[in-house]
Amino acid sequence: MLMIELEQLSNCHELINWSLARYVVHPHRWRRPILHDDGSLTFLGKPVTLPSYTSFLGEYEWWLTQEIKKGEPTRAKVQHKRATSKVFSHSCTTVANAVYMCIIEHKRRGGLIELPERYAERWLDWTI
């Protein structure tokens, strides 16, 4: 298991979805969702359905921007403020992924996550 910064996942949609399933949808202490080679997720043998990012937009005050170059979305930046003074801010390729990363950081109470080594090798092309 590796401890990595959440920002290192910003270009990997599959690992963002796995992190959302792991820390928000199924925050079980010992059992973890499984990320398959095709990008699908299962938990205890059943497919995982992730909530839409819009379901989180009513919970906080959000600031969303989407950069578009030559008609194609390139970068999204999302920021939200909790009831306290803590501000969560993330940049990704899509608004949905950036919102998911803010929610993961909020639920984890920090920007570090545990990632299985096999996922880092498969999805981030790391050599371990």
The pLDDT tens digits of the residues spanning 4-48 come to 998 899 889 999 999 999 999 988 878 889 999 998 999 999 999
Q: What is the pLDDT of residue 19?
A: 93
Question: Is the confidence at residue 62, as pLDDT, over 90?
Answer: no
Residue numbers of the domain that contains 74: 2-123
Number of domains in the chain: 1
pLDDT per residue as tens digits for the range 71-124: 887 888 888 876 566 778 888 888 889 899 988 988 888 888 999 999 999 988
In a domain, 80, yes or no: yes
- Three-state SS across the chain? CEEEEHHHHCCCHHHHHHHHHHHHHCCCCCCCCEECCCCCEEECCEECCCCCHHHHCCCCEEEEEEEEECCEEEEEEEEEECCCCCEEEEEECCHHHHHHHHHHHHHHCCCEEEECHHHHHHHCCCCC
Do the domain assignments include residue 128?
Answer: no
Radius of gyration in angstroms for the set of CA atoms belonging to the chain, rounded to a whole number = 15
Residue 99 lies in a domain: yes
Stated pTM of the model: 0.86
Write down the pLDDT at residue 128: 79
- Report the C-alpha gap between 124 and 110 in whole angstroms: 21
Q: What pLDDT shows up at residue 55?
A: 87
